[in-house]
Amino acid sequence: MNHQKKMKTNLLAKSSSGNPYSITFEQINGTLRVHCDCKAGVLQQQCKHRRALIAGDVTMLFDEAQISELQSILTSDAAKQLSLAVSNCESELDRLEKEKSRLNAQEKAVKRSIGALLSGGLNPSSAK
């Protein structure tokens, strides 16, 4: 016996080229999967279209008439859980971005020191 519960919805997302991308929300037995036919999406890499739509960003929709359809998809438990998991990853990305900025600043400071050392020479009193 097959009691699989399936739901499949296609929405259109904005693209820089003007031709919208097709985002497919597929829910099977409580698991939501989101597909996108953009270049990154077909390679199963993260893309801004899926990230925006799972986060409920309706400004990514190509057609305003699909707002209520998106919002209705996002009310399911599966969508809420997936959205939360993605959001946790995005927090981690933010943290890594800040860490990268901090490390870049440190790297520049050390390079400045090397430049200053080589150009200005080492002060004998500090080289003891």
Using CB under 5 A, list all residues that contact Zn ion: 36, 38, 41, 47, 49
Measured from the CB atom, is 36 or 79 closer to Zn ion? 36
Pairing between strand 21-28 and 6-13?
Answer: antiparallel
Compute the least distance from the CB of residue 62 to Zn ion, in Å.
12
Measured from the CB atom, is 15 or 76 closer to Zn ion? 15
Residue among 17, 11, 19 at smallest CA distance from 52: 11
Q: Which amino acid is at 30?
A: G
81 and 75 Cβ atoms separated by less than 8 Å: no
For residues 25, 28, 29, 30, the Cα torsion angle rounded to the nearest 10 degrees is: -10
Compute the least distance from the CB of residue 122 to Zn ion, in Å.
54
Compute the least distance from the CB of residue 32 to Zn ion, in Å.
16
Measured from the CB atom, is 21 or 78 closer to Zn ion? 21
54 and 73 Cβ atoms separated by less than 8 Å: no
Compute the least distance from the CB of residue 114 to Zn ion, in Å.
43
Measured from the CB atom, is 93 or 105 closer to Zn ion? 93
